[in-house]
Structure 1
């Protein structure tokens, strides 16, 4: 079974002659314990074309030291990574293989680098004896591996010495600043390489040819493709987080699929719809599958918040227990289904298709036009669609038909907002203001739709309670609150939409 920890560390250049300064003089340090030297032997794995390294992921099998086993490190921010650990075994553990699947696809992972390190370890502790950080001097020998085996011929070697400062679990990151000040005062400087693997690859070559710095977007097609590329990157990068069940990961991945699909639909004059249409259909499928888990998460939070807001005297019967059992039952099934989707061949094929689309983008003649001409036209068309749907919904009497129409307006608002966000790098302030106003419209319509879904759930819970001989009073009370919320959002909509429409008119004039 794999476990995980947040790793916060900094690396520094050193030589064999480098000596650590007196770290007991670092603010907050009461003791420096020298633990001695340990020998570490790690083999790093990747695809032949180094897809993991290209995304700053590292996968290794290490022996020696205090934590032998398989380690997968996923980047979080500069100097911060999540390390997923699995017990030592001869083959890659399935739980780690799943976490790299969106990157490697069907390509095999093979040994690419072997690092053997002599690690001289020092523990820095505070006044209460609690560990603050581990500082080590690592003498590293690196060998580039070829042929898919750690025992095959090695064609390149390199060696270096570095200092590594790693924050203790739950430590204050500011403490590493204090350590760094002491090291800098002693003449030690930060490493130019983010990791040992990155340095080994750079010094033993060849590495995967970097994509390089992309030229500044100039045409309408450049801007749309930059947005498309960003969403595809987000989908791939969020895959491990969704599998791990990290907060908000399903929502963010679902939003990326929707933004990508909206870009295909809005900018159909720039990207050939005969090519993007089938891809959009698959993105719709993926968003729907992700929505099973995400929608239940949103609904659970809404119902719990509503219930927490009631006075205790109005909570009659085992309401919280029933809500908890109902929620767990629904989310357990949805969670399993989400992971099954990510493990399926259909999802893998979609990722391959998205890569192919970027490699050979289906640009139409309008893609060569200046963004100031081509992009606003697409935005105005989305605004007109939204205006029509809102007007139609508000003409209907309150009831299920109006609820459906407002939900359709909500989807149009999302599409218009995403289109404005995609155009923002090209159109600047007008697109930014338009996106902000459209987000407000989407928020009002979204809260209305969430109320519709919540009322359906509350009615079902009330029926279950009544059939079990429990009071249904509280469920009915919550149902009434949701009705009032929906009515308030319907009254609020015209004003919020008027502001968004005004922003669109101003944007049209400025463009």
Structure 2
């Protein structure tokens, strides 16, 4: 996970002080302030150079994904500063991740992107090199407008701006930018100063220089290959649209997972599972080996992320179960042991998840998904809507068969855990298929049984964890009584689900 970053507000303005920004031609003269009511003198500061340099892959993958990776520098003699900045698409406006650049910054040597920031955007870059792609250079002078008592009543911050893009689409623009901030003086002072600036050729600025650079980079980026769009209502269009929706969800959750945000790994797994289920349930839509290869890689991703998610679920459920016990049944440092056990499990699971997301196999999977959406290996059946109905009936029969096998195992007194788990997987596949096929009523009905089967699976996994916790308590010389109580309750919960299964199936 990214570490060592700080979040800060850059360029925050005081909303209590009226402010306006104007853009004029390069090297425009300063506004004539003679006769402006309230202004008696102007005090100008020394020029300061500020640079904002954007970094991206040569094909501008970050820009097209709404991500800003940049270096800020200023040669202010009082507060010199240099830092990396990263804006992600879902970041709160005005907040960026930033990492200071330690001096000395060797002139002419392109700095390396910090590992903490590179890790966050690795899913977008997928191994591509990063280089400078654009720069904004400002030579800034701040003028303080004073009244007769030498009190500041306004500030005019003048920037001589140079904007450049690099690479194949090199461009260069220059202009003057004046930002006026009123802190006192007579009413209407901002309007008067705006008129004086207009006389120099300035007009209210429509966009910031950073937004202008972003626009130029987006326009310079090669357009991504178009995703396939078939005739609306056909099986091919329906399945590919569903896959595209969850491919985009997978990409969004990738960023959240790298930021260690709550539930991100779970949602990333859900996106992968929905895509895999669609490919499996509607296999007649495709021909050749590519769909099956994608299924296998999506299954690998789900398994690679499983440990991190399972640890979260089990810790939440076992902690809740302890909290629900009467105090007299909680013997020994139970919660401390739970915390120790899962702290390590969580750390190992998350490390394994990020290692998978940083690996070449995952990068290849993301590329394969996009290629599949752009050039799908469609079979003849993709042109018919009836293909969806037939596949749905097949998935329905498969689920019914798995539930029957689970009920038979229960009736015969055999170990039914594996059979119930198989029924759960078949139920989820059917549920996702009904969502894709546009039968929400059936999907809602299926949710109750798949939720119950999921709870059963969580209990099966939880019993194993409780056995481990009880054994560890004994080895540590502690009392394992509480974990035994929890194990018994978990067993009872599993049996309740098993008893409900016939009625859930009927509904």
**What band does the TM-score fall into relative to the shorter chain?**
0.7 to 0.9
Distance of 1:389 and 1:106 partners within structure 2: 42
Contact 1:54 1:208 in 2 (8 A): no
- State the 1:402 CA deviation: 1.1
Q: CA RMSD in A?
A: 3.5
Offset of residue 247 of structure 1: 0.9
Q: Deviations over 1:80-114 (max 9, x none)?
A: 48632222262211222222222122322221111
| CA-to-aligned-CA distance 1:419-477 (integer Å, 9 cap, x gap) | 122223xxxxxx11222222222111001110111111112211222233322221111
Contact 1:16 1:139 in 2 (8 A): no
Q: String of CA shifts for 1:143-197, please: whole Å, max 9, x gaps.
A: 11127xxxxx9533265859899xxxxxxxxxxxxxxxxxxxxx98985999454
Q: Which has the larger radius of gyration?
A: 2
Deviates more, 1:345-354 or 1:284-293: 345-354
Would you say 1:423 and 2:431 are equivalent positions?
A: no
Q: Aligned partners of 1:261 and 1:212: how far apart in 2?
A: 22
Q: How many angstroms apart in 1 are the aligned matches of 2:4 and 2:236? A: 44
Match of residue 350 from structure 1 = 365
1:105 equivalent among 119, 126, 150: 126
For residue 59 of structure 1, what is the aligned residue in structure 2? Answer: 69
Alignment of 1:56-455 (within 5 A): 56-64=66-74, 68-76=82-90, 80=93, 83-88=96-101, 90-117=111-138, 141-146=162-167, 154-157=170-173, 159=175, 195-201=211-217, 205-209=219-223, 218=232, 219-272=234-287, 274-369=289-384, 371=385, 373-397=386-410, 401-424=415-438, 431-455=439-463
Among candidates 41, 45, 49, match of residue 51 of structure 2: 41
Q: CA deviation at 1:4?
A: 4.3
Higher helix share: 1
After superposition, the Cα gap between the structure-2 partners of 1:382 and 1:114, relative to the gap in structure 1 and judged at 3 Å, is: same
- On the 8 A contact 1:15/1:162 being kept in 2, the answer is yes
1:368-395 deviation digits (Å, cap 9, x = unpaired): 22x3x22122112111111111122112
Contact 2:163/2:209 (<8 A) preserved:
no
Q: Deviations over 1:29-72 (max 9, x none)?
A: xxxxxx99975311101122211111101111111287631111
Among 5, 18, 38, which residue is 1:3 paired with? 5
Distance in 2, matches of 1:291 and 1:420, equals 25
Residue 71 of structure 1 aligns to a residue whose secondary structure is: strand
- SS where residue 96 of structure 1 aligns? helix
**Corresponding residue SS for 1:327:** helix
- The CA distance in 2 between the partners of 1:392 and 1:227, in whole Å, is 31
Tell me, what secondary structure is at the counterpart of 2:284? coil
Aligned match of 1:16 in 16, 23, 30?
23
Deviations 1:190-247 (A, max 9, x none): 8599945423436xx5333366898686122122112112222232332232222211
Q: Secondary structure at the match of 1:43?
A: strand
- 5+ residue gaps, structure 2, are 14-18, 25-44, 106-110, 143-156, 182-202
Q: Distance in 2 between matches of 1:303 and 1:247?
A: 19
Match of 2:497 among 479, 489, 492: 489
Structure 1 position 406, deviation (Å)? 0.7
Distance 1:368 1:74, change over 3 A: same
The structure-2 alpha-carbon separation of the partners of 1:63 and 1:451, relative to structure 1 and needing over 3 Å to count, comes to same
Is it true that 1:463 corresponds to 2:463 in the alignment? no
Distance 2:60 2:178 in 1: 24
TM-score (norm 1): 0.75
User: What is the SS of the residue equivalent to 2:340?
Assistant: helix
Count of residues paired in the alignment: 431
TM-score, structure 2 normalization: 0.76
